[in-house]
Structure 1
Amino acid sequence: LGMVKVAEGKSFVMADIPGLIEGASEGVGLGHEFLRHVERCRLNIHIVDVSGSEGRDPIEDFETINRELKNFNEELASRPQIVAANKCDMASAEQIDAFRTYIEAKGLPFYPISAATRQGVDALTGAVAAQLDQLPPIRQYEPEPAPQPEVAEGGKRPFTIRVEDGVYIVEADWLMSSLGMVDMEDYESLQYFQRVLIKSGIIEELERMGINEGDTVSILNFEFDYIK
């Protein structure tokens, strides 16, 4: 899990779902475990290698994963989806255009990106944030929300941050009472967790300390990668 900051005071929680392969819906690999996480997401960003750098076919890869989603839960295959064509810096214009034509014919948004060079990443995250604003929460899979105490007036509470072995460790006496019962598997609870970090000034201080995208943040027993 990571928090993606797209604008001042605007961000969203993202779950990175690795390991989806053919047969995932039947439990191949860690299929069931990862697919259960997908059920909690309102919007799927399907990242496909458009370059064919490993001899793969992006259309075949796209269809394989969507087939696994449908086999696991038909509703997942019809959930809103954005397609990100990754490694566009290594792909030819013809490869990108062919995949774009295929995806857009299905009525899906298409964004060419390069994770390595960050080409197109800002446009993608902006589109994701805009679409999330239009989507209701997924209630059918959510457990009862954990108790969520309010942040104090003004939002600022004392805390310390230290760096050990490249990990940013956040500590504060009030964190346990405020976040100790937050269910990190629950979308609404994660949104609350995110608001606390912003209002308390923790995110601002992490940025002042020079945190970089991909660095690990540790709060209580919860670790996540910082995503700007």
Structure 2
Amino acid sequence: MEELKLASVKFKSAGKVYYFSTDLELEKGERVVVETVRGVELGEISQELMSIEEFNLDTELKPISRRATPKDIEDYEKNLIDAKEALITCRDIVSRYEVDMQLTNCEFTLDKAKVIFMYTSDERVDFRELLKELATVFRCRIELRQIGPRDKAKVVGGIGTCGLPLCCTSLLGEFNGVSINMAKNQMLAINIEKISGACGRLMCCLKYEDEVYTI
């Protein structure tokens, strides 16, 4: 039996890294199929495999199911197109209900057993009746996931005040805590509009140089 290795898997180019075990000889950049809490998904090996023995893991890792086949990749690409159409359909259905929710995007699992609709809202939403209609229309499991302003900016994308694509969509896998003290430490003028990003929250880049100013 091959030695189990630790595999780092990303599902989006600027997404969070998740860890799985595998006995396959996989290279960085290879596409793989894994079972996640959301369902069956297509991911990409983000770095070279590592020895599990080097890490003190307190939980058992889920194994990578298999290398992705050409059909898996074809299905994934088709799902991206179908998700855009599903989002339009869902918006039309939502408009008929008195619910305060703004849909941002939609994703299918690889096997299309589940569809996830992400939305923002300023209040708690009762969407029990809405879920029933969505389940009838899409004939699969439905998840309505509320996301915050930072997550919305990551999904929607845009250009920052620096003239470059937003950090959250291009390089940040996870959001780090950003505080007003970081701006004060860097002796920036505390003008909330100027130090806030597209999401309306403090710019993530305030953290980049914070360590230099706090030494």
Higher relative contact order (CA 8 A, sep 6+): 1
How high is the TM-score relative to the length of structure 1?
0.25
How high is the TM-score relative to the length of structure 2?
0.26
Larger radius of gyration: 2
